[in-house]
Amino acid sequence: MQLFRFANPAFLYLLLILPVLLLLYIINEIRKKKAIRKLGDMAMVTTLLPEMSKSRPLIKFILLLLAITSGIIMLARPQFGSKLQDVKKQGVEVVIALDVSNSMLAQDIQPNRLTRAKQAISRLVDKLENDKIGLIVFAGDAYTQIPITTDYASAKMFLSTISPDMVPKQGTAIGAAIDLGMKSFSPDNSKSKAMIIITDGENHVDDPVKSAEEAAREGIVIYTIGIGSTEGVPIPVTVNGKTEYLKDASGNTVVTKLDEDILKKIAMATGGSYVRASNSNIGLDEIYNQIKKMKKQELESTMYSEYNDQFQIFAAIMLFLVFAEFMIMDRKNRKLANIRLFKFKV
């Protein structure tokens, strides 16, 4: 279900011209000031040019930028959903469990493990059509970030907010993530259920293999992605604005290593597979290709089938701003400048 959308979102890339126009305006203003200084003292030149206005060109430029922005949004065609409809599609339910523990901030995968994983998930969501997706985050505990849904836009929005700070208890409770994942699938779905776990595999809390065996009995296939290096790297943390490395109670630098064995066992217990992530390839595409081969089932979801265009509002705003920009003169009007509405003789 998607309440708001742009019918032509590609036009939004035109917004990139706004900072270019701003830069050109600043450069032009600097050149104008240099030219005026060549004529003499700034205060004297201002006296000789009483009609010159400092604020009007800026106001006109701001109005022009706002008009261009409104025009671009108009071209992108903003729309609001107006009619809900139950839609049945053939697809698979996929729950992604993403490790957000501090160890996922390690930089053996650039820029760090967590950021690269989020980027890969975002690209995967862009490819989804008929499948449902859910997202779980876990560290010492597991939490549902996105319930199973076909609202891909909301999924990407919530994905961007994920960080280690959202899970107060540190650790890597993979078993808890699997247990929560089993509860996340639609109750009436007895097949076509897949779970993808993205983690460095350093489980210190529970027994994830036992949880995986339970998931297998419920027909859930688990795929695991190991992200990080087996050699071990320190975990960067920000302290008072400076980047340092995480230390234990004894003052020793904490080193995080990828535990591939546990991830292979989890995948094997459910008939899934394990993929080792790298800087060039996280592995989600490879796993999703396997998931697409699973037997599809009829998935029902409620979606907006009709949308009302709202571009007219932005067209009106653009025309008003263009008219206002046209009406404002660059220079002061001598006749209007002599008018004093609130000047009284006593």
- Residue 121 within any structural domain of the chain: yes
pTM of the model: 0.66
Helices (H), 128-201: 152-159, 174-184
Peptide bond into 111 cis (omega under 30): yes
For residue 116, give the CATH number of its domain: 3.40.50.410
Answer yes or no: is 199 within a domain. yes
Domain range for 126: 93-295
Q: Is residue 251 located within the same domain as residue 320?
A: no
First to last CA, the chain: 69
Q: State which residues of the chain have pLDDT below 50.
A: 304, 336, 341-342, 344, 346
Q: Give the residues across from 226 on adjacent strands.
A: 199, 276
The whole-angstrom separation of Cα 101 and Cα 203 is 11
Residue 261 maps to a domain = yes
Indicate whether 342 belongs to any domain. no
According to the model, what pLDDT value does residue 166 have? 86
Helix (H, G, I), strand (E, B) or coil at 221: strand
- 122 with 189, same domain: the answer is yes
Cβ atoms of 15 and 76 within 8 Å: the answer is no
| DSSP at 304 | E
Residue partners of 180: CB distance under 8 A and separation at least 6: 97, 136, 138, 142, 143, 144
Domain count, the chain: 2
- Are residues 160 and 241 both part of a single domain? yes
Are residue 132 and residue 252 in the same domain, yes or no? Answer: yes
Look at residue 279 in the predicted model and tell me its pLDDT. Answer: 87
Same domain, 249 and 286: yes
Number of helices (H), then strands (E), belonging to the chain: the values are 11, 13
pLDDT value, residue 122: 93
Judge whether 300 lies within some domain: no
Same domain for 27 and 71? yes
Domain match, 193 and 281 both:
yes
- Residue 232 within a domain: yes
User: Is 86 part of a structural domain of the chain?
Assistant: no
176 φ, ψ (degrees, to nearest 5): -65, -35
pLDDT at 117: 94
Is there a single domain that holds both residue 254 and residue 291?
yes
185 plus 112 within the same structural domain? yes
Q: Are residues 109 and 227 in the same domain?
A: yes
Same domain, 176 and 58: no
- Is residue 85 included in any domain, yes or no? no
Residues 39 and 103 in one domain: no
